[in-house]
Amino acid sequence: MPSEQYFVRNQNEICFITSTIMEWVDVFTRPVYKQIIVDSLKYCQESKGLDIYAWVLMSNHLHAIVSAREGYNLSDILRDFKKFTSKRIIEAINQERESRKDWLLYRFEYAGKFKTNVKNYKVWQDGNHVKECFSAKFSQEKLEYIHNNPVRALIVETPEHYLFSSARNYARMQELIEIKSLL
């Protein structure tokens, strides 16, 4: 089994990734923040060469099985995705009627305070937990792990009932994001 790493070693391989919000703050409890992620994933598919095979957005992290199309670099896509969504999430926190506004902004400001490459706020943890999908069996295990995440968190009873997941695609239900099937 491949070891977990924080960077993409082979830029065009299919990888299981996890991107986590700083301090595991539950940002994605509001539809507006979830929609930022959905729209950004779609943009990366359409304009940045991202292929998505599976995904799930939880309250404080994103799991996905992804790859970069030929001529694109997965590390660059993930970097740009996190940079853009960070800015959009901070904008949304400031614009929305957010009861946790001061607390959220303080957490993200403090997280970036001691980082020389951060201007104001740090929303995502550095790096992405990355595992290359080296076999069909490993890919299937990660696909099931992704889809069962909301079930294990007691959000839904069955994976396909969670709207922010590709389990709906695999169940042939209306989905938020088009994917490439691993099956």
| This model's pTM is above 0.85 | yes
pLDDT in tens, 146-166: 999 999 999 999 999 999 999
Q: Residue 20 is part of which domain span?
A: 15-97+124-170
The answer to whether the beta carbons of residues 87 and 49 sit under 8 Å apart is no
CA distance 25 to 80: 21
- Residue 49 in any domain: the answer is yes
- Residue 136 in any domain: the answer is yes
The band of 2, judged by pLDDT with boundaries at 50, 70 and 90, is very low
- Residue 103 in any domain: the answer is no
In 3D space, the residue among 23, 67, 63, 66 whose CA is nearest the CA of residue 148 turns out to be: 63
Selection from 10-14, 43-47, 95-99, 128-132 with the highest mean pLDDT: 43-47
Where in 21-138 does DSSP place strands (E)?
Answer: 50-57, 61-68, 129-132
CATH code for the domain of 77: 3.30.70.1290
Please report the pLDDT score of residue 128 as a whole number. Answer: 86
pLDDT in tens, 163-176: 999 999 999 999 99
- Residue 111 in any domain: the answer is no
Based on the structure, what is the number of domains in the chain? Answer: 1
